[in-house]
Chain A
Amino acid sequence: MPRLHVKQQSALPGFGISMGFTLFYLALLVLIPLCGLVLFTGTRMTPAEFWTKAIADPRVLASYRLSLVASLIAASLNGVFGLIVAWVLVRYEFTGKRFIDAIVDLPFALPTAVSGIALTTLYVHTGWIGRWFEPLGIRIAYAWPGIIIALTLVGLPFVVRTVQPALEGLEPEIEEAASSLGATRWQTFRCVILPTVMPSLLTGFALAFARALGEFGSVYFIAGNMPYRTEIAPLLILIKLEQFDYVGATAIGVVMLIAAFILLLIINLLQWWSRRHQL
């Protein structure tokens, strides 16, 4: 293991003990268990088994497709409306603004089981909102629109909270320059403001997408969980574990974990890009 060097000699005590405890705790709770998963994949399943369980099974494939498409749509909705919410919170003054600002974080604190049963009750054919769509023949709960709504809710804070500081950091002079050079407000937004906040917007989009891909609790209630149609990938892991099919569950888990790591890498690159952009 490489030794950690303290570059700048800090006179403060406690580096050794706090760093030691941090690494010990992380290793015990996060790293060693994760290695267990990697080891399980490497030793208890053959590549052919992995292929049939994680890729070639049409039911599993359908769940990947649903998770991917629904998460993309939910993250896009959050991209558009998150930008509007961030804009309104940074630029305008209106009554109840601080309350609105506070409620944006609700999905961080509200348990997913609670938002799951609340959304389902709201959107079933007898619910407060669902009953208005029932005569039109539109099903929201127990169908894909419900899944998208649940995934949008859980990813909602990310775009708002990444775009907000970027909008606050915009210098008014640039916009004044654009408008004094004859740009319309829309041109200024499209050619000056949007490119500047784009790295943050993409970061927020990627965070919301990653959160939606892994989400389980809220979707579980509203999806209806019909195989091939409204069954998301995390639910399949749970079903396989209940059947003691550890190999099948792990195979799907590995695919999802790889997707999560790729997204984490992209998010880190985006954050690096937006930091460079703002300098």
Chain B
Amino acid sequence: MARSIALRLDSSKARPVPSNTESTLTRRLLIASALLFLGLFLFLPLMLVFAYAFREGLGIYLSSFITPDALSAIRLSLITAAIAVPLNTLFGVAAAWAIGKFEFKGKSVLITLIDLPFAISPVIAGLIFMLLFGALGWFGPWLMERNISIMFATPGIVIATMFVTVPFVARELIPLMQAQGTEEEQSALTLGASGFQTFRRVTLPNIKWGLIYGIILTNARAMGEFGAVSVVSGHIRGQTNTMPLHIEILYNDYQTTAAFAVASLLAFLAVVTLAVRFTVEWKTARDHEAAAREAGWGDNP
């Protein structure tokens, strides 16, 4: 009797209860439909960008970048990112410090406000700055008198890009800082570190990977923003075209290969962003395991 129970326990351990998992056929069908869905919607378009970019050879590919219009679009995208990314990173770190390390009323309202630009259509983001600085907007006549152009010029593009990329560093850091609590910072302060030293030596190493991913994602979004920028740019060739707008012009001019060549730069940036995310997750998991082993908690379940 006792032996048979032990045997049954053993056999139930060895393989899962059959009714508690799907049949091999169902599994295969589910995996196949997931792969088909992702292949059709993500993998194939991504492959097409590179296939079309290189279809006329490396020479044509490279020559797509050295036209004056392409160079000026790349320069403008880089300038925009160089202003928008550091400012939004500073904002993200400050917001995450306030939200993640302190308790106060209205915290969830503040988080919703930070997410707001993500919920608003990029075209509306462009529209609200047109209403402020456009020729018929609130400050339009005043700016015109003083000969300051914000719309259809670099400042407008930078402001609209900053608006749409506000949330990304903050969204990445807030959950991280909340999860890490304040004990480590408090011990550093007790040991006599200044506030800034504590941030640099204790907080920063803890959030390093999340911060790096946040910055890279913000950069990819800033260089690739299309909707908001196409409202405020005015599409002046060689002056106010960013890389996505340059792609639009080339594509509409039937210069398909050149359009995909420029697009391949942005697609490559997106792939790098995903690779960084992949590495960050792997490193964070590894750090957690190492910390758990040091503390003697054993392996992560």
Contacts and interface: CB of A to CB of B under 8 A. Distances in A.
B236 to A, nearest CB: 13
Contacts, number: 296
Interface string B200-233: 0000000000000000010011011111001100
Interface in B13-62: 17, 19-23, 26-27, 30-31, 33-35, 37-38, 40-46, 48-49, 52
A216 B59 CA distance: 33
Interface string B81-125: 000000100110011011001111110001011111101111110
A208 to B, nearest CB: 12
Interface stretch (B3-11, B142-150, B262-270, B291-299): B262-270
Interface string B234-246: 0000000000110
B91 A25 contact: yes
B142 to A, nearest CB: 14
B112 A264 contact: yes
Given A114-B224, A214-B120, A246-B136, A184 B33 contact: no
A206 B124 CA distance: 19
Determine the main DSSP class of A at the interface with B.
Answer: helix
Contacts of A88: 30-31, 34
A19 B93 CA distance: 11
Contact of B103 (A8, A13, A184): A8
A235 to B, nearest CB: 8
Given A14-B195, A15-B98, A180 B17 contact: yes
A249 interface: yes
Contact of B226 (A26, A102, A156, A216): A216
Interface string A97-113: 01010111111111111
B123 A12 contact: no
Interface stretch (A49-57, A58-66, A115-123, A196-204): A115-123
Nearest to B95: A22
Nearest to B124: A253
A38 B15 CA distance: 63
B217 A216 contact: no
Interface residues of B, number: 103
Interface of B: 17, 19-23, 26-27, 30-31, 33-35, 37-38, 40-46, 48-49, 52, 87, 90-91, 94-95, 97-98, 101-106, 110, 112-117, 119-124, 126-132, 134-138, 159, 162-163, 166, 182, 185-186, 189, 195, 198-199, 217, 220-221, 223-227, 230-231, 244-245, 247-248, 251, 256, 259-260, 263, 266-267, 269-271, 273-275, 277-278
A171 to B, nearest CB: 12
Give the residue among A29, A34, A110 with the most B Cβ atoms within 10 A.
A110
B186 A184 contact: no
A271 to B, nearest CB: 10
Contacts of A18: 94-95, 97-98
Interface residues of A, number: 98
A163 interface: no
B91 A114 contact: no
A136 B37 CA distance: 22
